[in-house]
Structure 1
Amino acid sequence: MAEEKRIERVQHVWVRLIRAHDNVVRKVEAAVKAKGLPPIEWYDVLLELSREGGRKLRPVELEKELLVAQYNLSRLLDRMEAAGLVERLTCPGDGRGQMIQATPEGRAMQKRIWPSYREALEEHVAPDLSEKDLEQLAKLLGAIGGHLRPGGCGN
């Protein structure tokens, strides 16, 4: 009986977590889009490529950093390349392999998106939570996704 109660609680948490995620992502995406900026996925790609002073990543490495399915990432990179924000380079020692790198325009776009993204995050991610509540929420989410790399969204 106690196990069934726990399963019910876990299921309840799961549903609330997914609903909260969908709600916040939708609101943040809409706020950024309303400012005439590209989708937040573009920002996330540009942020990963700008870490450590700028880096080149294979698509599979970028896929792992972003937790995006390969087929979605390929189309996303195609659109970003067409917009001049990323470029594909031949991988040294592997003529068929590719590396992805942000262009100067891509780095500038990432810096341009960040203030609107930050504002949307502040408005839509737990706006009524205290600092203590935010710390507790981060701790709890960390316990759920402890295997994920910690990271910030800033530039």
Structure 2
Amino acid sequence: MEFDHLGAKLANVSRLLGSGAHPDRIDAEIARCEIVCVNCHRRRTAVRGSHRRAAPRWWETPPPPGRSRARNLAIAYSTLELAGCRECGNHDLCVLDFDHVDGKTANVTELARRGCSEQRLRDEIARCVVRCANCHRRRTAAVAGYHRSKGDQA
């Protein structure tokens, strides 16, 4: 779950918590938020920011500058959208991630944005499966050993 700011964002709630901010300051920032799942937060943020990923026909929106960046992002977005989440089948481009299962050497989206070679990008994508942000978080938590099963009590 994440804090989604509904109005002006004055601070990042997680950073306030991590920095030992006064509880009143933390409470005031939380009051500006709605708690939503990761997928909903990603979608809302993308729509509010008019992100390319949020466009129903993203491929018709202006590509980023640079031919290699445009090519790479088209490859990455197409791969995500066509595959959908391996766990739940979600095909919403705004919420899909590359989840490394075979030795991460780089972040796929960052590689694409930096304009790496097409082969380098495809090699990194081959190390991944596609998962939505919710399923990606659940899997990461389970693999790390801090995931509570549905039967556990808080």
TM-score exceeds 0.5: no
Ranked by relative contact order (alpha carbons within 8 Å, sequence separation 6 or more), the top structure is: 1
Counting helix residues as a fraction of each chain, which structure ranks higher?
1
Q: What's the TM-score once normalised by structure 1's chain length?
A: 0.25
Under a length normalisation based on structure 2, what TM-score does the superposition of the two structures give? 0.25
